[in-house]
Chain A
């Protein structure tokens, strides 16, 4: 395992753990800067969603983030003990072309997650939400 981290489901602690994950990925793996940014974008949306929705009824939830380095990708596992994701939540496959008169101000998070993460899987067991996904490493540009 590359690392396991825990944070409180609060905006401040989520920012702290995202920064810590960025440091771990850049110092201990060969993923390039773009892959790290993609992982950070996806993790930020997932952790914020857990804080806002799974733990919407409490101020004291915790989130565990684990990562494995698979050479070609990173595999992440995110666990929380909040409320289950409602079955009605569907991940959009891609962003709709926006109409100028009816611009959405939300719903972007699920688009970001579903477009950037691969092998997204969700399980609920023993009161725990277990979300796993893969971030494929973007090859660094080869020098000419």
Chain B
């Protein structure tokens, strides 16, 4: 199911891509961008200055893991973990490792998640940031292992753990091993939680399948970015199963909030401030110590 939803997301994604330079009647990719929501055309520079949020309609573009680090953490504080882990090919799927290699080159990441430690307004936190530009952010062994190690470090150092999810779900090429990463990350989060430590999950577009059905939903606070697609099964699969038209806002962050599935939706512009406040309110010994 996770993977099917990934397909439908791929289709959607194409609308959101910055216009290709080679296509006829298009704008230079590095200069201009067109909002997939409101169709406004503006300078890429303008978009980047606005944290990749459409200045007119608030559409939240996807971000790379490194872009998130730069808008979230205090400058120069980020230290990356486990860059030496590499994907293997346990089920021997043809051309799997080649695809990994291409995405690794494209994103500068060893896998679909960047993990590490840094500070938010002076408070140390451990973070994991998924990047949907890498195999749709799907979770295989390395993603599961990096996230689990990051959680274990947070437990060891008694630090809050913050994750930004962006994933189509399980990595199909790793079969049942990828399914088991859901359990692996969840048992690690349970131990972190039993130590009285804070875990904040921020679901960004898209968070579906096995990722939404494991760590993404296990935050002490479950937060989302506006309009993010969040769900277990893919829209198409559900439409085929129930044979009815689903509402337009189905599986959006706003839909989940209305159905009691989220604590809050934070606009990207207020994300850092709000997270800093939440972390501060959970400091050991209570607020009076801060």
Do A and B assemble together?
Answer: no
